[in-house]
Amino acid sequence: MKYSVLTAVLAVLLGASLSAHAEHKEAVSVKPWGVAALKQTLEEMPKGDIARGEKLQGDALCITCHGDKGIAESRNAPTLAGNNLHYLYKTLLDYQSGLRNEGNGKADAMWAITQPMTKQDMADLAAYYATQSAPARSATPPLTTASIERLVRHGDPSRLITPCASCHGAKGEGGVNETPSLAGQEAYYFERTMKAYKQGTRQADTNGAMQFFAHKLTDEEIKGLADYYAAIPNNKKAK
């Protein structure tokens, strides 16, 4: 992919009128992920080239929002450093297809950026970011209420809420396949994402699992979880 051309393409796409943007969103009709389809897609994922991914983060303008080495300085963009390889790859596919689009402007930029990308490009970027280290967002963890600790470790059977740790790991390190790590993630971004799941405006989760989970949480619980995970250091070492 020739990224010298990408900047010009992106400028044109982002300068389109609001009416054209609305037409694009209405035209997108992508089938949500099923377990079998996602499993096959991840099995067919190309082997990522870390060095090429490092170059692509600059050429494809990733560092503009996600920061050098994937550590975002803005609370509006997620930190990508140290996240799950398959999650990162799947997310790029979701933006390219239009399955993921929160309608907040940032998603539209991601749609534009991913249009020229090949699956090899996406695998390279995912491989690079997955090997980086993300720091905790605060030196002193916030006071965590017993109810938040319970949600993380035990869930809430009375509301059919499974423990966060059962998928995202005991220390927020991420799980298998497309389950992302949460340790060190920007709290505001985490909170915004969970509310998008709760409101049904983000639908890229496999079989609607996160929508089901988030729908049962209160806004206070979502904020508590955001602060909890932001304070956990991501201990993955950069290679």
Give the end of a domain, one of 99, 130, 161: 130
Give the end of a domain, one of 79, 103, 130: 130
pLDDT at 12: 42
**Alpha-carbon gap, residue 231 to 227, rounded angstroms:** 6
pLDDT at 235: 63
pLDDT-flagged residues of the chain (< 70): 1-29, 102-107, 135-144, 235-239
pLDDT at 137: 58
| 203 found inside a domain | yes
Q: Are residues 15 and 116 in the same domain?
A: yes
Q: Are residues 9 and 101 in the same domain?
A: yes
Nearest to residue 167, comparing CAs of 203, 130, 214? 214
Kindly give the interhelix angle for 50-59 and 119-130, rounded to the nearest 10 degrees: 100
**Alpha-carbon gap, residue 97 to 99, rounded angstroms:** 6
Q: Are residues 8 and 122 in the same domain?
A: yes
| 115 found inside a domain | yes
Q: Are residues 24 and 110 in the same domain?
A: yes
Helix (H, G, I), strand (E, B) or coil at 19: helix
Q: How many domains does the chain have?
A: 2
pLDDT at 48: 97
| 238 found inside a domain | no
What range defines the domain where residue 48 resides? 3-130
Predicted TM-score of the model (pTM): 0.68
Q: Are residues 168 and 205 in the same domain?
A: yes
CATH number reported for the structural domain that contains residue 202 in this entry: 1.10.760.10
pLDDT at 177: 72
Torsion of CA 122, 206, 101, 187, to 10 degrees: -90
